[in-house]
């Protein structure tokens, strides 16, 4: 048993945080008590007085093979993919390189306070296996999937529906549900690089095996025009995914910027979740997601870094851009980052907040280096999300284990 002392904040409610002084975590990494007074139980006191303790950050959209491809300025999404990203992803055919970057990727995430990440791997089965191995070793929670493309990309990165099914079965049967911490996501890159047949096959195998699905939706106007040219029978970009069966409660779509109300309704009815990636959207000049319209439609919104189009691994920096994209209180921003992420994964009964019975994923924040401490939680959190970054993270815990710092 361990008792953590500090300024503990949790964001179950988007309009006001809960605050405590002590958090007791049992040897299985579960939170057993939260209180203002020191609890009368035996256990080692871990004193973080002067620090802030927040729920672990959940990044619901990030690309592992793009870790070293950040900040590549380009004219458009499609040009950026061809010029920088596809060549970078080809390098993951080399297992040694894949291991080196995977190791760096998960340790960097933990250093930044990210305790759960939803990850696109490359198009390679072996590199995806390696990503799972490195995620396992790091102790992080992750949902990972091998990227699927069968058109409009370089030959080396293309698959076929048959090969895709084989790859998914092989990797998912090893890793989906591992230690309750690692999960598989079927990962068609986006409609521009997938035939109907590939997307249908992907949706089917995901349903059969109970896997997550992740993809991109309506990021840029040029991309949407391309999708409508490729699938002229579809009524909209969202309709392409609906027809292929890819939309469901375990599906996360990134961006979802240029949507009609009808598309929002389709997504909400399917229970599909949104990964809002504001830093990426500003970087590629994709547009600004309308948070209010999404919430009016009943959609669950979470936050993604979208590294490498997004330049920042630090979710504090991504929250700053979320605020620039849509006016919101700091409580709301941290609520989307933590509870929103947990809901996107259907894991809100296990992670996403510091509550009795949940698993103890948390981040120790030193408010001083950039942001500065303040008694008023709204001022403290505003400074953290507008000025904060990796330098404010002094330790990261997953399931009660200290993994960074």
Write out the residues near Zn ion by the rule CB under 5 A.
254, 306
Distance between CA atoms of residues 356 and 222, nearest Å: 47
CB of 57 closer than 8 Å to CB of 115: yes
CB of 309 closer than 8 Å to CB of 280: yes
Closest to Zn ion by CB, 280 vs 396, is 280
CB of 128 to Zn ion, least distance (A): 16
Retrieve residue 117's tokens.
């990440």
User: Which backbone phi and psi does 160 adopt, to 5 degrees?
Assistant: -130, 160
Retrieve residue 57's tokens.
């950050």
CB of 306 to Zn ion, least distance (A): 5
CB of 337 to Zn ion, least distance (A): 18
Closest to Zn ion by CB, 53 vs 77, is 77
CB of 215 to Zn ion, least distance (A): 9
CB of 61 to Zn ion, least distance (A): 6
Closest to Zn ion by CB, 12 vs 82, is 82
Closest to Zn ion by CB, 171 vs 254, is 254
Closest to Zn ion by CB, 306 vs 321, is 306
What does each C-alpha distance from 211 to 49, 137, 176, 177, 251 come to in angstroms?
Answer: 41, 22, 7, 9, 9
Closest to Zn ion by CB, 134 vs 306, is 306
Q: Which residue of this chain has its Cβ atom nearest to Zn ion in the complex? A: 306
CB of 298 to Zn ion, least distance (A): 24
CB of 361 to Zn ion, least distance (A): 23
Closest to Zn ion by CB, 24 vs 152, is 152
Closest to Zn ion by CB, 72 vs 170, is 72
The SS3 call for residue 180 is coil
- Nearby residues of 332 by Cβ (< 8 Å), 6 or more positions away: 14, 15
Alpha helices (H) in 183-277, listed in sequence order: 196-209, 221-230, 237-244, 261-270
CB of 219 to Zn ion, least distance (A): 8
CB of 301 to Zn ion, least distance (A): 16
CB of 253 closer than 8 Å to CB of 233: no
Torsion of CA 306, 324, 389, 81, to 10 degrees: 20
List of E strands, 64-160: 114-120, 141-145, 147-148
Q: Report the Cα–Cα distance between both ends of the chain, in Å, rounded.
A: 20
Closest to Zn ion by CB, 69 vs 133, is 69
Distance between CA atoms of residues 15 and 30, nearest Å: 26
State the DSSP string of 15-71: SS-EEEEEEEE-TTSBEEEEESSPPSS--EEEEEEEEEEEEPEEEEEEEGGGGGGTT
């Amino acid at each position: 048993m361990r008792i953590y002392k500090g300024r503990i904040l949790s964001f179950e409610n988007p309009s006001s945080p809960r605050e405590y002084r002590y958090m007791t975590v049992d040897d299985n990494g579960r939170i057993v008590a939260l209180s203002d007074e020191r609890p009368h139980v035996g256990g080692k006191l871990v004193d973080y007085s002067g620090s802030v303790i927040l729920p672990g950050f959940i990044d619901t959209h990030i690309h592992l093979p793009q870790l070293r491809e950040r900040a590549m300025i380009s004219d458009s999404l499609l040009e950026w993919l061809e010029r920088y990203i596809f060549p970078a992803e080809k390098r993951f055919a080399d297992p040694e390189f894949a291991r080196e970057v995977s190791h760096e990727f998960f340790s960097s995430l933990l250093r930044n306070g990210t305790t759960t990440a939803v990850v696109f791997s490359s198009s390679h089965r072996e590199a995806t296996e390696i990503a799972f191995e490195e995620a396992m070793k790091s102790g992080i929670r992750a949902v990972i999937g091998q990227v699927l493309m069968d058109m409009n990309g370089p030959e080396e990165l293309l698959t076929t529906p048959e090969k895709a099914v084989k790859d998914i079965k092989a990797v998912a049967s090893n890793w989906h549900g591992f230690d309750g911490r690692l999960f598989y996501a079927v990962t068609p890159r986006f409609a521009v690089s997938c035939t109907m047949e590939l997307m249908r096959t992907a949706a089917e195998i995901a349903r059969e095996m109970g896997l997550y699905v992740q993809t991109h939706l309506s990021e840029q106007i040029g991309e949407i025009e391309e999708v409508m040219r490729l699938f002229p029978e579809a009524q909209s970009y969202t309709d392409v995914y609906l027809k292929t069966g890819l939309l469901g409660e375990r599906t996360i779509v990134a961006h979802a910027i240029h949507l009609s109300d009808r598309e929002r309704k389709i997504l909400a009815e399917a229970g599909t979740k949104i990964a809002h990636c504001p830093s990426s959207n500003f970087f590629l000049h994709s547009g600004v997601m309308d948070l209010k319209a999404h919430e009016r439609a009943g959609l669950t919104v979470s936050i993604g870094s979208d590294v490498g189009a997004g330049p920042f691994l630090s979710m504090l920096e991504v929250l700053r851009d979320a605020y620039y994209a849509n006016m919101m209180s700091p409580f709301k921003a941290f609520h989307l980052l933590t509870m929103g992420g947990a809901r996107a994964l259907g894991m809100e009964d296990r992670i996403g907040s510091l509550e009795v019975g949940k698993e103890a994923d948390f981040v120790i924040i030193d408010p001083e280096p950039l942001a500065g401490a303040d008694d008023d939680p709204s001022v403290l959190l505003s400074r953290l999300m507008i000025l904060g970054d990796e330098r404010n993270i002094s330790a990261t815990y997953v399931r009660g284990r200290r993994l960074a710092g």
